[in-house]
DNA sequence: TTTATCTGGTTCATTATTCAAACCATTGGT
DNA sequence: ACCAATGGTTTGAATAATGAACCAGATAAA
């Protein structure tokens, strides 16, 4: 792994629940030598991807991302398109919704909207990226990802987040086939206990999968009726997003086809 | 210069007027060897800062910035605070407004709003970062930047964008003194011909200058009356931004004090 | 006060990565 | 068929990254 990757992976340590980190912690968390860590951080800092603040001289994400994000949004609008649709979806289903994209070898959670209908709701748990094998979004994306990526992911040792997490590559592979068939991915408590989520993939203009929309509900609330409602609504949401972004589902992609097995695990 | 910096500087080649670049062009533009360029791009790509698209396999800014920007916005809200104020400022002055931040050693243009009052207006020209010595924002920031940064910038050879561009470090230094005195920076045609802009610095909670707000008008329209109006409005806008962000102007900072010389060049 | 242990930051010989110029394989135009 | 592009890959030679040890300062316990 190159130096640049190492530096960028340092950025992954910054999350919603831990937005600023000191040098020593950074070295500890990353396993990178402190001196190296320091050098990398100063380099990221001179570009502005990182800034150093406060008396404790902690590091955090810097202002350069604003420019990059603005540029990205200009050339490939996403947030402006997605957020209204996500909001509507949260409204119509009464549950938390989110959209994630495939960035490099990770599924990144880029936006989420909470519904205000229920007192209990699925919170986004300070996670910034979702596991391929244990989240409905990850599964949806993995199912439609290029062969190479899928194999690369499944070759890794997959962490077991809950007792329900499936980590056997063979079984996951079979499940991906099923997801490809139905167009919809589900995950029940496989990433977080008591969270049941439903996701559909998003395709870009070249019909390659670049993300997913998902609805996540507390397991206790996930009745057959709600599941049916979510599936219907999430499909229209996904189609709207793809239409506005110029995305085209690949040849023979079935959105919402009835699964051959009654109900996924 | 380290490898990481080199990789990140590659990102700077992507701009609004040139959002996607092929490998050969990238190597040409950066002066970096093609093989090196390729390796760096693939590393940036696996992180998602860059993505490769289309038949021509061109590179562009990738989806990872979305996550970083979201994180940044959560820990240090900026856009959500700044855009409404910028819009109001554009409204009340009838001219284009923008806000830029100091990121590393550059002034990055992070957001701009156009007024709809006039048929002619200053467009943001596809520039993503502004020169310190030839833009009102750059001057405002430079005037209040730490000594070290100021000297570093002035030690460089400063490009001459127009006949009006001042490139003599000594004269610029004198002008910075004046800007510090008045609190307001002006630039008339020094970056782009026929553009007259006014800027005031923004300070963070530790009273260090981290950006600037600016209003840019066509020179032809910049009357004394308009200038006075802009100055008044831009000051309130800057104060609003700082208030909402918890920014504190440094001890003895004079916003809108009358300049000792009637009118800057 | 002494001692111990944190912290951010620095040094320097060893080592591994990056560099540059060449070369491939395709593609598009003449 | 040719030429000039393109994206991508290989090669010894040069350069940069690395990590253990080391500061100096702050904090806290003894």
Retrieve residue B109's tokens: 């243009």
For the record, the structure tokens of B230 come out as 């802009």
Nearest Cβ partner for B69 among A65, A109, A206: A65
- Mean pLDDT by runs of 10 across the 265 residues of chain B is 88 86 90 90 90 81 88 85 93 94 87 85 75 96 90 90 94 95 93 93 86 94 93 94 85 61 41
DSSP of A103-172: ETTEEEEEEEE--SS-SS----TT-SEE-TTTSHHHHHHHHHS-HHHHHHHHHSPPP--STT----HHHH
CA distance B4 to chain A (A): 5
User: Is A101 within 8 Å of A108 (Cβ atoms)?
Assistant: yes
**In what side-by-side order are the strands of the sheet with A20-21?**
A20-21, A58-61, A50-53
Domains in chain B with CATH codes: 3-66 (1.10.10.10), 76-245 (3.30.450.40)
Burial of B100 (0-12, 13-18, 19+ CB in 10 A): buried
pLDDT > 50? residue A179: yes
Mean pLDDT of A31-57: 87
Q: Tokens 């190296």 appear where?
A: A36
Residues 6+ apart with CB under 8 A from A31: none
On chain D, which bases lie within 7 A of the protein's CB atoms?
A: 5-11, 16-21
> How far is C-alpha A74 from the chain's CA centre?
22
Average pLDDT over residues A123-129: 71
pLDDT for position A200: 96
Quickly list DSSP for A244-261: HHT--PPTT--SSPPPSS
Lowest mean pLDDT among A176-185, A243-252, B165-174: A243-252
Q: CA A34 – C1' D28 distance (Å)? A: 24
Give the pLDDT confidence score for residue A184 in this predicted structure: 95
CB contact under 8 A, B4 and A64: no
**Rounded to whole angstroms, how far apart are CA atoms A183 and B6?**
42
A14 within 8 A of A61, measured Cβ to Cβ: yes
Which two tokens mark B70? 């979201």
pLDDT band at A75 (very low <50, low <70, confident <90, very high): confident
Flag whether residue B246 sits within 8 Å of chain A, measured between CB atoms: no
* Mean pLDDT, residues A30-37 taken together: 90
Which pLDDT does position A259 carry in this prediction?
44
B197 contacts B136 by C-beta, under 8 angstroms: yes
Look-up of token digits 């990140």: B8
pLDDT by residue (tens digit) across B158-204? 999 999 999 999 999 999 999 999 999 999 999 988 999 999 999 98
Q: Where are the beta strands (DSSP E) in chain B?
A: 20-21, 50-53, 58-61, 96-103, 106-113, 129-130, 185-188, 195-203, 209-218
Which of B199, B197, B213, B198 lies closest to B245, judged by CA? B213
pLDDT of residue B256: 56
Q: Hey, what are A161's tokens?
A: 């987040």
Residues A212, A222: Cα–Cα separation, whole Å:
20
Q: What is the pLDDT, as a whole number, of residue A231? A: 94
**Tokens of residue A43, six digits:** 């380099």
The rounded mean pLDDT for chain A is: 88
Q: List A129's β-bridge partners, or say none.
A: A108
- B146 touches A: beta carbon within 8 Å: no
What mean pLDDT do residues A123-143 have? 87
Backbone angles phi, psi at A28, to 5 degrees: -60, -50
- Please report, rounded to whole angstroms, the spatial distance between the CA atom of protein residue A104 and the C1' atom of nucleotide C21: 31
Helical segments of A63-112, H only:
64-75, 79-93
Q: What is the mean pLDDT of residues A173-185?
A: 94
Q: Does residue A193 sit at the B interface (CB-CB below 8 Å)?
A: no
pLDDT score for A8: 93
* pLDDT recorded at residue A110: 85
For A52, the closest chain B residue by CA position comes to: B104
Q: What φ, ψ does residue B230 adopt, rounded to 5°?
A: -60, -45
Looking only at the bridges linking them, the beta strands covering A58-61 and A96-103 are unpaired
Most confidently modeled range among A14-23, A104-113, B222-231, B246-255? B222-231
DSSP symbol at B29: H
Q: Is there a contact between A64 and B4 (Cβ–Cβ < 8 Å)?
A: no
What is residue A265's predicted lDDT score, i.e. its pLDDT? Answer: 39
């Amino acid at each position: 792994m190159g130096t640049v990757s190492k530096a960028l992976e340092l950025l992954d340590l910054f999350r919603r629940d831990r937005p600023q980190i000191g040098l020593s912690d950074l070295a500890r968390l990353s396993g990178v030598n402190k001196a190296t860590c320091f050098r990398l951080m100063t380099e990221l800092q001179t570009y502005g991807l990182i800034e150093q603040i406060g008396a404790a001289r902690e590091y955090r994400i810097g202002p350069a991302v604003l420019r990059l994000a603005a540029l990205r949004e200009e050339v490939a609008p996403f947030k402006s398109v997605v957020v209204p649709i996500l909001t509507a979806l949260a409204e119509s289903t009464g549950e938390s919704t989110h959209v994630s994209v495939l960035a490099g070898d990770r599924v990144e959670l880029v936006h989420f909207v909470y519904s205000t209908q229920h007192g209990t709701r699925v919170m986004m748990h300070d996670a910034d990226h979702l596991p391929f094998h244990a989240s409905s979004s990850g599964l949806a994306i993995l199912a439609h990802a290029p062969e190479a990526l899928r194999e690369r992911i499944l070759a890794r040792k997959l962490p077991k987040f809950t007792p329900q997490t499936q980590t056997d590559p063979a079984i996951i592979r079979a499940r991906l086939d099923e997801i490809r068939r139905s167009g919809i991915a589900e995950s029940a408590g496989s990433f977080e206990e008591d969270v049941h989520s439903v996701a559909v993939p998003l395709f870009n203009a070249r019909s390659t999968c670049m993300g997913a929309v998902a609805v996540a509900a507390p397991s206790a609330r996930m009745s057959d009726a709600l599941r049916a409602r979510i599936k219907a609504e999430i499909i229209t949401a996904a189609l709207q997003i793809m239409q506005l972004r110029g995305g085209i589902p690949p040849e023979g992609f079935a959105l919402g086809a009835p699964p051959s097995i009654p109900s996924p695990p």
